[in-house]
Amino acid sequence: MDLQDFDSAHLYFDELLAPEVAARLAAAAEQYAEGTAEQPLLEAQALAPDDLTVLVGLYRFYYYQHRYGDALQIARRALEVVGPRLLLPASWSEIDADHLAVAAERGIGLLRFYLLALKGAGYLSLRLGRFEQGKAMLVKVVELDTDNRLGARLLLDVLAEHSAEILIFPTAANAEIRP
């Protein structure tokens, strides 16, 4: 299966937004430069907690603010929202090729979104010092994306190249999270 072949796929940002949600996302975009975009984003999330456009907006906001813990929570929420739509197991670690085939039939664009969210969660886990968790997530993406269309293999290569330089000190920030 080619994860880049989603010409006819329904994409998350094609979904219609309620006017009050769209207004808050527009306000967030206008307020981003002043640093006050979080409040309208949180208001949009309160109105539409499962809307992928809202989740992507929050994820990007937190990521670009270097609030990686918050961004990781949003990435995990995206997995929780999209997984059931694709009939995937509740835990990303249990997904196999058979699950992937069923998910692709339900929507290749949504499947790509899910895998990119998992890749993002893996990367953020690495940034937060949760190396084993991040590596496991990236390994799963590489296992499922055999043609490396999503580029997760590069992150694993960089991690392997620098693994001897990583010293892990136990802190609350790098405590493992469940898959």
How does pLDDT run across 123-161, given as a tens digit for each residue?
999 999 999 999 999 999 999 999 989 989 998 888 888
Please tell me the pTM assigned to this model: 0.83
- Phi/psi at 98 (nearest 5 deg)? -65, -45
Are 122 and 152 in contact by the 8 Å Cβ rule? The answer is yes
Distance separating alpha carbons of residues 151 and 141, to the nearest angstrom: 9
The alpha carbon of 123 is separated from its chain's Cα centroid by a whole number of angstroms, namely 9
- Phi/psi at 47 (nearest 5 deg)? -75, -35
What single letter denotes the amino acid at residue 19? P
- Tens digit of each residue's pLDDT, the chain (179 residues): 444 454 555 555 567 889 999 999 999 999 998 889 999 999 999 999 999 999 999 999 999 999 999 999 999 999 999 999 999 999 999 999 999 999 999 989 899 999 999 999 999 999 999 999 999 999 999 999 999 899 899 988 888 887 655 556 565 555 554 45
pLDDT of residue 13: 56
CA distances from 108 to 1, 91, 175 (A): 9, 19, 33
